[in-house]
Amino acid sequence: MKRILLFVLTNVAVVAVLGIVASLLGVNRYLTSGGLHLGALLGYALVMGFGGAIISLLISKPMAKWTSGVQIIEQPRNQDEAWIVDTVRKFADKSGIGMPEVGIFEGEPNAFATGAFKNSALVAVSTGLLQSMTHEEIEAVIAHEVAHIANGDMVTMTLIQGVMNTFVVFLSRVIAYAVDSFLRKGDSENSGPSMAYTITAIVLDILLGFVAAIIVAWFSRQREFRADAGAAQLMGRKQPMINALARLGGVHPAELPKSIAAMGIAGGMGQWFSTHPPIEERIAALQNASH
C-alpha cells in the first residue's frame, strides 16, 4: 500500500511541477482563437514528455532505496557483504565506471541497478538472491547489473520514454483538435474547444500510451539481451550467466517497484508489455553467442 501511494503521489507532484513549468514558459497556450498553435503544442509536449522522464530518472535512486527498503552497505558487517562490495568494485573497474553504491533489500531472488549517472549509480541485490544462488551465479547477476550501468541503459530508456511521451501528448491533442473541429463545423459562435476535445484527448492519451508502452518494452527487452552478453564478457565466459538465468527461471522473482522494474534481473511474462524477454530466450541467446 505504501509503494502504491508513494507512486501516485510522486506522479501527481511531477505533473504539477511540469504544469507550472509549462505555464511559466508559456507553452501551455497552444489553443488560440486562431486555432491550434503547433509550435506551442510541440513545446508543451516536449516539456511534459521529457520533463516527466528526466525527473523520474533523477529521483530513481532515492526512490529505489525508499520503496525497496534498500540498506546501503556503508561499511561491510560480515564476509558476505564485503564480498558483494568487492565484486561490484571489480566489475565497475573492469567496465570503466565509477564505483556504484551497493545495497541489500529483503525479498525473493532479484537484483537491480538504477541511477541517473554512470559514475554514481546503485546496485542492489535481494536477500533471496544471496540465499538461493552460488557465488558464481551471484557474480553473474551483479555483472549483468553493472553492464546495465556501463551501457547507459538508464539514460537510454529515459530518452526513449521521453520521445514516446512527447509523441503521445502531441499526437493526441492534434487528433482531438481535428475531431473537435469536425464536430463543430459551421459553429461560428464559440471558438474555444468543446468537451469533445477534452474527452478525445484523454482517450487518446490512454490508447497511445499503451502503444508507447509496447515500444518502450520492446527496447527494454533488447537491452536485457545486451546486458546478459555484457555479463558474460565481464565474467570471461557465459556459463555462469546461463546458470543464473536457469535458476531464476525456476523461482518466483521479487516484485520490484514500477520505477525500477525495468532494471531488474528477473524475466517477464514474455508478452508485449514485458520489459524482460522470457528466460528461455535469454538463455538461448547466450548459448548461441560466439563468446
CA 69, distance to chain mean position in Å, is 19
Residue labelled with grid coordinates 562490495: 85
Active site residue 145: yes
Angle at which helix 135-150 crosses helix 79-95, to 10 degrees, equals 40
Backbone torsion region of residue 252, taken as left when φ is above 0, otherwise alpha when ψ lies between -120 and 50, otherwise beta: beta
**All residues at 6 or more sequence positions from 203 whose CB lies less than 8 Å from its CB, including other chains:** none
Indicate if the alpha-carbon torsion angle 96, 97, 98, 103 is positive or negative: negative
Number of H-type helices and E-type strands within the chain: 10, 6
Three-state secondary structure call for residue 217: helix
CA 80, distance to chain mean position in Å, is 29
Q: Which of 137, 139, 145, 224 is catalytic?
A: 145
Enumerate the β-bridge partners of residue 112: 124, 264
Known catalytic residues? 145
